[in-house]
Each structure stands twice: as structure tokens, then as C-alpha cells.
Amino acid sequence: MIFKNITEIHLTNKKVLIRSDLNVPIENGIIQSEARILAAIPTIKFALQKNAKVIIMSHLGRPKEGLHQKKYSLLPIFEYLKKTFNHTKIYFSHDFLNGIQLNSGEIAILENVRFNKGELNNSKKLAKKYADLCDIFVMDAFASAHRKQSSTYGIGEFVKIACAGMLFINEINSLKKALHKPKRPMVAIVGGAKVSTKFNVLHVLSKIADTIIVGGGIANTFLAIDYKIGKSLHEPDFIFEAKKLRDKYHIITPIDSRVGKNFCKTEKCIMKLPSDILEDEEIMDIGDQTIKKILYILKNAQTIIWNGPVGVFEFPNFRKGTEMIAKTIANSNAFSIAGGGDTLSVIDMFNIKNHISYISTGGGAFLEFIEGKTLPAIQMLEKHFKNTLNEKK
């Protein structure tokens, strides 16, 4: 991977457009997890220190394209950054496609790029308008690096200078460290709802990790190979694929579970073996025997890759499995890398961010990188760098 780093570019008095990923959970206008914002700040600070004219763009959620929907506005993020950069003039721009006036050392936060028609299908017309806003484009949104969209990919065709930001480069270097000649034993934890979205990464990790631990709906699909699991979330169409994986690799599935009859915060949990689960019950967390087994494995690990919770951690009675795993990883001496939106929420909930070796802001991008796929944003930066070299010849 060869492309320009922001630290190699002359930024002073230049309009620098940073594509960050500020897609954070917001409820009633209140930010629930600051992780992605905090991760984006070093690149912004660096550009300010160089006295650049800093423009920040991002998406938030999945609004209906072309419509301004208040609940998907970046206004709460603007308010957060206004407090962070309280000695800097900072503006919020709703209407920016025809240009932005900005002085050196100032910041403009652009409204949600997904409010613009053409963003999702990588409209060239829109990409050119983004490019016209700046002298330098900085791709720093690793969590969106797997998206081929106007603000993450298309813009690269029209800007004079494109480079990677600090977060983007840190993500790649840390993932390479975890995947290339990892210290062993290497353990991977793959949780979340759908096994179908993670089959490729399970295949790849199974070949490089010594042990795979599955949780959540993914684990339920594995349990459904041998048991009737009531109304537990799982994917019947993938049971056969799950069996092939389980029979070939060292995959740890739950030996007991916390179950309930109603999917709600106040539901009481009952501990059960998979063979005892009734038709009207659903698995919502791993049981104590499973926790004990997993913690033993984690305490002996030298490298840990963690993607996804192992239960419905939002519900107090079904949080224990995820909490114990999170705290054990935090107390481990292993090189640990964690990624994915729900994983970030877990890290915030248990206040362990300073005890994880590296926290990836990526979910889909994190998984696709592990799978060995070339992310579109990396492709764009490499192509831009190659074209720049050809122009100099």
C-alpha cells in the first residue's frame, strides 16, 4: 500500500477537506459514544496546527437521500466539536456545494453528506463539487473505507492532492500488526446478530487464529446444528455452512446460555443448557460455564481480535458475558484490537478504552480488511498517488 500521508503535505493556508467518520450513536440529540469523534480529532488538530482552512465532512446514519432529516443532522457533533476547539472559529454549513469561505486556522463542519443526492451511488457530478471545495483532500474515514461513494471514493478522481489522515494510517498499521505474524496463541471473538455477514471473515480468521469464539446470533446458528433453540435469533439457511466451519476449525460455542421469554430490558434471565431451551424462550447471553471457559482461553492469549458483543449487552440481565469478556481483554497483556460499532459502545459502557491496544473505528471496513479485500478508499489513494508520479515523469 503506497499513498501520501497528511504529514508529507504542505497544508498552510490551504483548504483542507477531511473526510472523517463521525457516524456516532445519537439519542434525543445526545451523543451516546464519542469514540469515533475522539479518533478523528488528531488529524483535525494537525491541520489546524499547520494553519490550514479545515473543512470536515461525514455521514450519519441512513437518511433518505436528498432529504434533510433532523435526527440525522450533524448539528450535535458540531456542538461537541465547538466545545473541543473552543479557541477556534468553527462554523456549521448546511449549503456548501457551491463553495465555502474560510480563513486559515478556522473550521467548517459540513452537514450530513448523505443528505446530498448521488452520494450513495458515487455520483461523479457530486464528487466534483466536493473536490471543488478544497485544495487537498484527506481520507481519514477508515470506518467508511469499504464504501464506494462520492465522498469516500469518487472525489479522488477530481482533487489535485489526496492523502490519508492519521487515523486512517493508524488503523491500517494496527490491523497489519495483528494479522501479520501475530504472537500466539491468537484468539478471535466474533459476535453480533448475523452469521451470514461474517462467514467470510470467520473462514479467514479460522485459518490464522488458534481459537475462534462465537457469540450472539452467530453462536445461536452454530447451536442450531445440534439443538432446538426456541425463538432465539439465528439464521436457519446458514446452519449447514456453520457445521462445515465447526467441523473443520477450533470454534468455541456456548455450553450454557442465559435465556428469557420476552425481548425487553426488564426481562429476568434463566440459565439453561442448549438442550433444555423451550419453544417460547430465546438465548440472549452466554452462561456462567461458557464464560469460565472463554476467560481461561483469553487469559492465555497473546493476540486478541474482538468484533462484536456476545449477548444483548444493552439489557442489564443479559450483559454479564460481554462484560466479563470485555474486562478480561482489558486486563490482558495480549496485543488486543477491537472493532465495530457495537464493540465501541461496549468499550464506552465499561470504560476500558485505555486498556485495549488498538480500537478500530471500523465495522464493515474492519472485517473486509481482515478478509484480505482491497478497500475502495485505499484503492483510490493508491491510484491517485500513482497518477501523481506519472504526471511528474
The 3-class secondary structure across 2-56, one letter per residue, is CCCEHHHCCCCCCEEEEECCCCCCEECCEECCCHHHHHHHHHHHHHHHCCCEEEE
Eight-class DSSP state of 112: -
Tell me the C-alpha distance between 151 and 117, whole Å.
Answer: 12
Would you state the cell numbers that stand for residue 89, as one nine-digit string? 472559529
Q: In Å, how far are 1, 111, 211, 332 from 56, measured between CA atoms?
A: 25, 9, 41, 36
Burial class (CB in 10 A: 0-12, 13-18, 19+), 380: buried
Q: Using DSSP, state whether 264 is helix, strand or coil.
A: coil
Hey, which residues are catalytic here?
36, 194, 341, 364
Is 258 within any annotated ligand binding site?
no
Angle at 163 between CA 161 and CA 166, to 5 degrees: 150
The answer to whether 355 is annotated as binding is no
Confirm or deny that 340 is annotated as ligand binding. yes
The answer to whether 314 is annotated as binding is yes
36 is in an annotated binding site: yes
171 is in an annotated binding site: no
Is 60 one of the annotated binding-site residues?
Answer: yes
362 is in an annotated binding site: no
Cell representation of residue 374: 482491497
Closest CA to 283 of 274, 295, 292, 275: 274
Please give the single-letter amino acid code of residue 21: D
Is 156 labelled as part of a ligand binding site? no
Dihedral, 151, 152, 153, 157 alpha carbons, nearest 10 = 50
Instruction: Say if residue 246 carries a ligand binding annotation.
Output: no
Which of helix, strand or coil describes residue 289? helix
285 annotated as a binding-site residue: no
> Residue 185: is the preceding peptide bond cis (ω within 30°)?
yes
Residues in the chain: 393
d(CA 79, CA 385): 35
Question: Is 292 within any annotated ligand binding site?
Answer: no
As annotated, the binding site for ATP includes: 198, 314, 340-343
As annotated, the binding site for (2R)-3-phosphoglycerate includes: 36, 114, 147
As annotated, the binding site for substrate includes: 21-23, 36, 59-62, 114, 147
As annotated, the binding site includes: 21-23, 36, 59-62, 114, 147, 198, 314, 340-343
